[in-house]
Amino acid sequence: MSVTKTLFDTMPDGREVYLYTIENNNGISAGIITRGATLQSFNCPDKEGKMGDIIMGFDKVADHIKSGTYTGNVIGQYANRLCNGKFTVNGTEYQVTQNEKGKTCLHGGGEYNSALWKAIIIDDCAVEFSYHSPDGCEGFPGNVDVTVVYSLNDHNELEINYEAVSDKDTILNFTNHAYFNLGIENGNVLDHELMLNCDYFTPTDADSIPTGEIRSVEGTAFDFRTPKKIGKDIKADDEQLIMCRGYDHNFCVNGEIGKLRTVAKVTDEKSGRKLEVMSDLPGVQLYTGNFIDGTETGKGGIVLNQHYGFCLETQFYPDTPNQPNFPQCTFKAGEKFKSTTIFKV
Ligand code: BGC
């Protein structure tokens, strides 16, 4: 087990961005950079033992900044969307940044993922990243102190532990926005087989805001309870898929909220790599890189085309504060937000 720290790049204003690489005794390694506490790489062997990076992303900080993909970033203060950028806490309505079509708030307006996080090495398998979000930043109430600990063990589990506390009652919803591709040398992820431990999903309107309905996946293109290729039904005649050009939806994870359970399992026959996702959160956004369009060049000079990565963003459901029938994510001043997501290869 080891953790190494190296200079990765610089921010546009000259501040240094560091890369922390955690390697386990099987030679598997995860790299995290301080800009956005971003999961930069996750190297694991294919069926022939050849190491490969399963994170779709960029080599340079400037490309991360330019891109609208949020790849590998930690997202806060509210991951996913808020309708009209509004919500109410204790009877006070808050207006936050409407950074999507001038209408919705997407991924907290981009604050946490653009920030330079502090990092400390905890031991030979874990690094803690921390960030202080000032009260009112992007319109969100509360001074929020958040820590995200990445650790890797010899079961090849990359564990991400989130903890946050605010000094005002507020909404909190964090995720990691990694795009995975278990064999990017072979192209897009449509042939990857996906299992989702989810009986229901939350359909959306044209702005990707949940309508409030919690719909059964039974008999729909959204049924991944038995493993199927991501691409199998992605072009189905379903208004939800047509609207989003593929999957870009929150699924409701089966099992008890607050308990770690399997969210998803993905296998790629071609590379022989696999990924399992576990989380204690209520939901997961399956996003199949629908809006990636070949205009960006990723790590190693690979042109990023549509569906070149899939995201499994563990989260509270989108727009939760405006949807009384969803599991709520308003936290009292001083109350600790705690959550764990594991990516196991
Ligand atoms: C959203 C997508 C968006 C992507 C990148 C995902 O979490 O659901 O709609 O295109 O993030 O911004």
Supply the pLDDT for residue 138: 98
Instruction: Find the catalytic residue in 23, 138, 159, 177.
Output: 177
pTM (predicted TM-score) = 0.98
Supply the pLDDT for residue 169: 98
Nearest CA to ligand 1 atom 12: 69
Task: Tell how far the Cα of 331 is from the centroid of ligand 1, in angstroms.
Answer: 25
Exposure pattern of 176-198 as b/e (b: 16+ CB <10 Å)? bbbbbbbbbeeebbbbbbbbbbb
Q: Is 138 a catalytic residue?
A: no
CB distance 180 to ligand 1 below 6 Å = no
Supply the pLDDT for residue 44: 98
Distance CA 233, CA 222 (A): 8
What does each of the 345 residues of the chain score in pLDDT, given as a tens digit?
999 999 999 999 999 999 999 999 999 999 999 999 999 999 999 999 999 999 999 999 999 999 999 999 999 999 999 999 999 999 999 999 999 999 999 999 999 999 999 999 999 999 999 999 999 999 999 999 999 999 999 999 999 999 999 999 999 999 999 999 999 999 999 999 999 999 999 999 999 999 999 999 999 999 999 999 999 999 999 999 999 999 999 999 999 999 999 999 999 999 999 999 999 999 999 999 999 999 999 999 999 999 999 999 999 999 999 999 999 999 999 999 999 999 999
Task: Tell how far the Cα of 69 is from the centroid of ligand 1, in angstroms.
Answer: 7
CATH of the domain at 281: 2.70.98.10
Supply the pLDDT for residue 304: 98
Distance CA 176, CA 33 (A): 13
Supply the pLDDT for residue 320: 98
CB distance 69 to ligand 1 below 6 Å = yes
One-letter amino acid for residue 274 of the chain: K
Supply the pLDDT for residue 170: 98
Supply the pLDDT for residue 59: 98
Task: Tell how far the Cα of 214 is from the centroid of ligand 1, in angstroms.
Answer: 20
Mutate to test the pocket of ligand 1, among 64, 69, 105, 106 (most ligand atoms within 8 A of CB): 106
Nearest 5°: CA angle at 79, between 148 and 235?
120
Please name the residue ranges forming H helices in the chain. 61-66, 111-114, 239-244
Task: Tell how far the Cα of 4 is from the centroid of ligand 1, in angstroms.
Answer: 31
Of 205, 214, 192, nearest to 283 by C-alpha is 214
CB distance 133 to ligand 1 below 6 Å = no
| Number of structural domains the chain divides into | 1
The single-letter DSSP state of residue 75 is E
Supply the pLDDT for residue 152: 98
Q: Is 313 a catalytic residue?
A: yes
Domain that holds residue 31: 2-344
Distance CA 119, CA 3 (A): 12
Supply the pLDDT for residue 246: 98
